[in-house]
Amino acid sequence: MMCLKTLCRLFLATVVTAGGIASTAFAADEYVYDLVHSSVSFKARHLDISWIHGRFNEVDGKFSLDRQDPTKSTFLLTIKAGSVDTANPARDEHLRQPDYFDTKQFPTIEFKSKSVKAIEGGYEVTGDFTMHGTTKEITITLMGGKEIESRGVKRVGFSTELKLKRSDYNFDKSAIGPIGDEAIVIIDCEGMSK
């Protein structure tokens, strides 16, 4: 009789533990970056009178969203620096050179989240932003996060805007002349669930 009771308890404990693990495993939805419906663009001041716009055409990334415990969510974004496009091939070639992005030495720009906090209408994500070989901790505000299902694929979208100073990322100071030091990066990202 004792043996049967012990077996029952053990069974119950196993079920509860397995259920717990399963709920943890399924709570976080994983999404991959949808390049077709996303964009990473930027703008910088020219001669302090106007804005030059550009974008990065090759971006990759993934994120996992835990709706129940947002602190367990993760975000990763990798931008190929060589894919810079300002609608002027000569300028793009110049931007790829060591005076600017130095794409042969630093081929990617990366953001990797370290902590996530839910806020109204989105998430506040703190993480390491690596550009031009320099890593700095930044906090970005991701607005959005609404999930819809379209043709059997779950989709979720986020938008953010951040200000970066080139001089903070070890860009050549002498190259900060007509183009302003500060750049505004606009990320509109749509993720698809696997």
Partner 1 sequence: MPDLLLFLKAAVFSVSASAVTVLALMFCRGSADRKAVTSSPSSVILLLSFLTGVCTGYRTLGFSLDWPPGNALARFLEIILPAIVLIELVASLQKLPRAAVWFLRTTVAAVCGRVLWHGSVYLVAESWTGLTVQTALVLVGCMLSLMMVWLLLFRLRESPVAEVLPIALALCIQTGGLTIMLAGYIKGGAAAIPLATSLAAPILMSLLMHRRCDMRGMLGVGIVSLFSLLFIGRYFGALSTMHGVVIFFAPCLSAISLLPIVRRCKPAVTRLLCLALISVPLLIVLWQAESAFDKRMAPLISESPPPIPVTPPAIAGRG
**Class of residue 27 by CB neighbours under 10 A (exposed 0-12, middle 13-18, buried 19+):** middle
Label residue 4 exposed, middle or buried (CB < 10 Å: 0-12, 13-18, 19+). exposed
User: Which C-beta is closer to partner 1: that of 98 or that of 121?
Assistant: 98
Q: Which two tokens stand for residue 56?
A: 């990065």
Residue found under tokens 């996530």: 116
Residue 63's SS3 state is: strand
CB-facing half-sphere around the CA of 193: CA atoms within 13 A: 17
- Binding residues for partner 1 restricted to 100-129, rule: CB under 8 A: 102-105, 107
CB closer to partner 1, 23 vs 57: 57
50 burial level (CB within 10 Å; 0-12, 13-18, 19+): exposed
- Least gap, CB of 14 to partner 1 (angstroms): 42
Any contact of residue 97 with partner 1 (CB under 8 A)? yes
Judged by CB under 8 A, the chain residues 152 through 171 that form the site for partner 1 are 170
Nearer Cβ to partner 1, position 9 or 46? Answer: 46
Closer by beta carbon to partner 1, 181 or else 188: 181
Stretch that binds partner 1, among 28-36, 83-91, 113-121, 184-192 (CB under 8 A): 83-91
Residues 16-75 within binding reach of partner 1 (CB under 8 A): none
Question: Which residues are at the interface with partner 1 (CB under 8 A)?
Answer: 88, 90-91, 93-94, 97-99, 102-105, 107, 133, 170, 172-175, 177-178
